[in-house]
Amino acid sequence: MRFLDAAGSALRAGPLFFAMVTMALSLLSSTAAQSQSSRITEVTSPGGIKAWLVHDTTLPLIAMEFAFLGGASQDAKDLPGVANLASSLLDEGAGPLDAAAFQHALADHAVELHFDAGRDEVRGSLRTLSENREKAFELLRLAVSEPRFDTEALERIRASQMAMLRRRSTEPNALANDRWFTLAFPDHPYGRPVDGSLDSVPRITRDDVAGFARRTFARSNLRVAVVGDIDAAELGRRLDIIFGALPATATLTPVANVSPQKIGTVDVISLDVPQSVVVMGTGGLERRDPDFIPAFVLNHILGGSAFSSRLFKEVREARGLAYSVYSYQVALSHTGLWFAGTATKNERAGESIAIITDEFRRILKDGPTATELEEARSYLMGSYALRFDTSAKVAGQLLQIQLDDLGIDYVDRRNALIAAVTLDDLKRVAGRLATARDALVVVVGKPAGLSGG
């Protein structure tokens, strides 16, 4: 409490004290990130299950992040939404506990347990007090090994999913993103909606979700990261208890590498709203590509920074076309993508698209300046520690590093990789990304002068 009072006094005292407090917190965060990176241990259970661990007894808490490779890319072509519905049901009853009893057990022991399906994996997260670990790990074991998929829970969650899909059917950002992937990947799993559709979700049966879990949840495609008050020996034993009953090998349908289609076209979804939402996407680099880090820096200069990027300066500051404009990379398991987006008045949507396109082409043709590179490196290196300021964030970062297959020492190497990026690297990457001069553009709204579809 005294620290909070002191911080409050500092804030009231004026901007100088605020700057000093901010700097101190930044230094503390940086130190924590570096100390944790050197303490990452790979744990192998007696049964051969691997996990990355940061043993930290500062607080009596345990955070676990895990993933099963497979995700919505394993949905049948005519039945999207199975992975999403299955993951939503994992904490709705398991083993001897029905949905109500399972949720009561979580609440009674202050356990947070969540599951979520993405295109390439099903992720789970667990948060528990150390003293409740026995119950927390047992509930997790039941959820992944003995999910019930009871009719009552299935129909309740299905109804919730349908309500969400109806809302998304009139939500401009959701419409734009869903349409972009549908057009870009017409004959590929990435083109199917992760959440399913108003047509497919009602047709999903208990056998469908149970079959997905049976095929996908296995030890061979499991990745685990743990941070907190648990040591390596205990974690090794717990891994076998939690996940040991799962099949040794997943039965996954192979997913082909793919590039986005319809590049250079514009698609308009007419919706009676005052602003047009714009999503522009094109091919990028996969995460395993040696040039991904230079491309990451290049994107930061283009549109990855909220206030200093070229897109922000041109679209918002110079012309006042939009409050927010951005670009970002997406590295899926079987493709790399580069996106930009904004929302602007209907009558100025075409102008905004033209400016974003020009900025894409200009940075790919001429590259950034030395000043832009130096500012980008400084920001990206200095802000990295903010990804490690809670145990949950640390676990999430370690899981993502595993999924991207970057190596257990990546936390130590990452900033050096950023620091090593040169202007020549950025020019080389810009040459490789020359096709990004054009994009598949999806606009939702009433954009003046634009048509397509």
Q: Residue 214, CB half-sphere, CA atoms under 13 Å: how many?
A: 8
What CATH code would you report for 266-445? Answer: 3.30.830.10
CATH 3.30.830.10 fits 40-243, yes or no: yes
Contact by Cβ (8 Å): 434, 335: no
Closest CA to 303 of 231, 357, 242, 248: 357
Q: Residue 157, CB half-sphere, CA atoms under 13 Å: how many?
A: 24
Tens of each residue's pLDDT in the chain, 453 residues:
333 333 333 333 333 333 333 333 333 343 344 444 458 999 999 999 999 999 999 999 999 999 999 999 999 999 999 999 999 999 999 999 999 999 999 999 999 999 999 999 999 999 999 999 999 999 999 999 999 999 999 999 999 999 999 999 999 999 999 999 999 999 999 999 999 999 999 999 999 999 999 999 999 999 999 999 999 999 999 999 999 999 999 999 999 999 999 999 999 999 999 999 999 999 999 999 999 999 999 999 999 976 789 999 988 888 888 889 999 999 999 999 999 999 999 999 999 999 999 999 999 999 999 999 999 999 999 999 999 999 999 999 999 999 999 999 999 999 999 999 999 999 999 988 877 779 999 999 999 988 765
Cα gap 7→379, rounded to integer Å: 25
Cα gap 353→355, rounded to integer Å: 6
The sign of the torsion formed by the CA atoms of 151, 154, 158, 160 equals: positive
Cα gap 82→195, rounded to integer Å: 8
- In the chain, where the domains are located: 2-37, 40-243, 266-445
